[in-house]
Amino acid sequence: MLLSIIVPVLNEEESLRELHQQIEAVCAREQISFELLFIDDGSTDKSWEIIQSLSQAESNVAGIRFRRNFGKAAALTAGMRAAEGEIILMMDADLQDDPEEIPKFLAKLREGYDVVNGWKQRRLDPWHKVYPSRVFNGMIGSLTGLKLHDHNCGLKMFHRDVAAEIRIYGELHRFIPVLAAARGFRVTEMPVNHRPRQHGHSKYGFNRFLRGFLDTLTVCFLTGYGQRPQHMLGAIGLFFFGLGILGFGYLSILWGLMNIFHAIPVEPIGTRPLLAYSLAATVLGAQAMSLGLLAELLIAYTGRERDNYSVSERTDLPTEKPRLNS
């Protein structure tokens, strides 16, 4: 069984040769056949030259070079598309992830899991990364229901099927386990040895946490309502629209009591704050519902059918009748 190791690279010239040596040493010792794919995500240092020379010297090393920096998720996507192995491992290029973990991850996968996510139990990063990261992991856990200690760990191993089914764009590479779990894949985690960065510097600053929060909302929406957006937007819309109608109803009754039945003293309703609130609520409600319908339209006409289910196994299917194309 072939293992495809995917390594996104942004200005990591000092680490690449050493990383290759370490991977080679572990895989030779454990008799793991592997291919190593470096994706150069717009490096401006000597990274690409090193990748080129490694892939000339080794038949199982290859490289892909982006024209400019497209981000880690894009690099991983390119790697997954090029990968030929049954099993895919992604790891960072900066030597923070330890190749010694590879056999343990493979053993865990053989226990019957589809995704094994690393967990930097003893984390060797500065505090301003460690603490926000704990909050982030707790938040993803409670919002998505998949409780892992370290969603953003660079070390993740999964079956080819997972890579084929999930789409990671933007910065959604942090959500591979969540997206996989939402499709019914079995996800687990594994404590890993974490090492401090030796060369170069981290490519992410503090704003990753703000973006991470927004992405968490996106992923919650995608996994919960991606196939039925009107159930969320429509519910919000109906709620506000209903509130507005109640307000209008109340004001209409008042108006009737004053002007038709003369049951109470006349007082203008045009200046009541409730009128403005009711108007705002009906407009907001109608807007949320029409947004929901637009979203449904997108899914109905552009959504691909294979996205709304995930098959784990099948027996031989009878072939007499022509099948519907998906």
CA dist., res. 150 & res. 147, Å (int): 9
**Residue from 13, 35, 41, 171 in contact with ligand UDP (CB under 6 A):** 41
Residue 96 in the binding site for Mg ion (CB under 5 A): yes
Please check whether residue 239 is in contact with residue 285, taking contact to mean a CB–CB distance below 8 angstroms: yes
The residues, ordered by sequence, that sit 6+ positions from 200 with a Cβ below 8 Å of its Cβ are 11, 12, 13, 14, 15, 94
Residue 174 in the binding site for ligand UDP (CB under 6 A): no
Instruction: Kindly write out the interface string for residues 45-74 of this chain, putting x where it contacts ligand UDP by CB under 6 A and - elsewhere.
Output: ------------------------x-xx--
**Residue from 12, 94, 97, 150 in contact with Mg ion (CB under 5 A):** 94
| Cβ neighbours, 10 Å, residue 17 | 12
Name the minimum Å distance from CB 15 to ligand UDP.
Answer: 8
Name the minimum Å distance from CB 215 to ligand UDP.
Answer: 15
CA dist., res. 96 & res. 278, Å (int): 56
CA dist., res. 148 & res. 135, Å (int): 12
Angle made by CA atoms 221, 160, 192, in degrees to the nearest 5: 80
DSSP for 19-42 reads: HHHHHHHHHHHHT-EEEEEEEE-S
**Residue from 9, 155, 178, 179 in contact with ligand UDP (CB under 6 A):** 9
Please check whether residue 219 is in contact with residue 172, taking contact to mean a CB–CB distance below 8 angstroms: yes
Please check whether residue 289 is in contact with residue 238, taking contact to mean a CB–CB distance below 8 angstroms: yes
Instruction: Kindly write out the interface string for residues 132-161 of this chain, putting x where it contacts Mg ion by CB under 5 A and - elsewhere.
Output: ------------------------------
Name the minimum Å distance from CB 177 to ligand UDP.
Answer: 16
Q: Which residue number, 159 or 208, has a Cβ lying nearer to Mg ion?
A: 208
Segment interacting with Mg ion (CB under 5 A) among 93-101, 212-220, 264-272, 318-326 = 93-101
Name the minimum Å distance from CB 207 to ligand UDP.
Answer: 13
**SS3 state of residue 233:** helix
Strand pairing report for 115-120 and 156-159: antiparallel
Q: Which residue number, 126 or 138, has a Cβ lying nearer to Mg ion?
A: 126
Name the minimum Å distance from CB 278 to ligand UDP.
Answer: 48
Segment interacting with ligand UDP (CB under 6 A) among 2-10, 134-142, 157-165, 296-304 = 2-10
Q: Which does 69 bind (CB under 5 to 8 A by kind): Mg ion, ligand UDP, none?
A: ligand UDP
Q: Which strand (E) or helix (H) includes residue 267? A: none
Q: Which does 118 bind (CB under 5 to 8 A by kind): Mg ion, ligand UDP, none?
A: none
**Residues in contact with Mg ion by the rule CB under 5 A:** 92, 94, 96
